[in-house]
């Protein structure tokens, strides 16, 4: 196993972790100088606490949620393919280079889905006149970028293993 491949696994894991944190926390946008925060699943209001927003969701919010979830599932697939590539030799099986290709493709797809999610949020939900981008938003896009980089590195590292 090359150092590139092991770094790829670490980067994919960190990217997926960041994305999951961003997905689950309620601060995609916030109002400066107040405690109002807005997330994919709940809004937090100082007086009432956090409130689930399962009723009357806009189509923009539902699309953002869908693409963010698809990005997470794609990231899980990318990391799983990369791990399986490592585990197969211990089971005396020959790992297929298709696993590194799957890891790269699904890592890039995770980035694309995350990018679409943050664009929909930024255009359709976020109000730049009143709100500021929150850490959850930043975690999701950073996670997507890291998953894509990790996927490409896994593919390169896997190709180096075959030489």
Max intra-chain CA distance, the chain: 62
Instruction: Report the pLDDT value the prediction gives residue 162, as an integer from 0 to 100.
Output: 56
For the chain, the domain total comes to 1
**Cβ neighbours for 40, distance < 8 A, ≥ 6 positions apart:** 23, 26, 28, 61, 64, 65, 68, 136
- 98: which DSSP letter? H
Q: Is residue 33 part of a domain?
A: no
Full-model pTM? 0.85
State the residue range of the domain holding 94: 3-27+55-129+136-162
Exposed / middle / buried, residue 11 (Cβ in 10 Å: 0-12, 13-18, 19+):
buried
Residue 88 has pLDDT above 90, yes or no: no
Q: Is residue 98 part of a domain?
A: yes
Tell me what percent of the residues of the chain surpass a pLDDT of 70.
92
Q: Is residue 14 part of a domain?
A: yes
Q: Is residue 158 part of a domain?
A: yes
Q: Is residue 39 part of a domain?
A: no
Q: Is residue 36 part of a domain?
A: no
**Average pLDDT over every residue of 35-59:** 79
Instruction: Report the pLDDT value the prediction gives residue 1, as an integer from 0 to 100.
Output: 65
Q: Is residue 49 part of a domain?
A: no
Q: Is residue 125 part of a domain?
A: yes
**What kind and span of H or E run contains 37?**
strand 37-38
Residue 163 has pLDDT above 70, yes or no: no
**pLDDT band at residue 54, thresholds of 50, 70 and 90?**
low
Q: What is the CATH number of the domain that holds 90?
A: 1.20.140
Instruction: Report the pLDDT value the prediction gives residue 99, as an integer from 0 to 100.
Output: 85
């Amino acid at each position: 196993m090359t150092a590139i491949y092991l770094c790829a696994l670490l980067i994919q894991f960190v990217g997926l972790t960041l994305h999951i944190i961003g997905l689950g926390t309620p601060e995609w946008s916030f109002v400066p100088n107040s405690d109002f925060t807005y997330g994919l699943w709940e809004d937090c209001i100082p007086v009432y606490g956090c409130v689930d927003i399962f009723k009357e969701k806009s189509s923009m919010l539902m699309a953002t949620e869908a693409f963010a979830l698809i990005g997470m599932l794609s990231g899980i697939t990318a990391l799983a393919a990369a791990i399986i590539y490592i585990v197969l030799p211990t089971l005396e099986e020959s790992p297929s280079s298709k696993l590194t290709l799957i890891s790269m493709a699904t890592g890039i797809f995770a980035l694309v889905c995350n990018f679409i999610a943050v664009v929909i949020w930024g255009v359709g939900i976020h109000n730049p006149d009143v709100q500021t981008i929150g850490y959850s938003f930043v975690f999701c896009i950073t996670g997507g970028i890291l998953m894509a980089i990790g996927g490409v590195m896994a593919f390169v590292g896997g190709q180096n293993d075959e030489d």
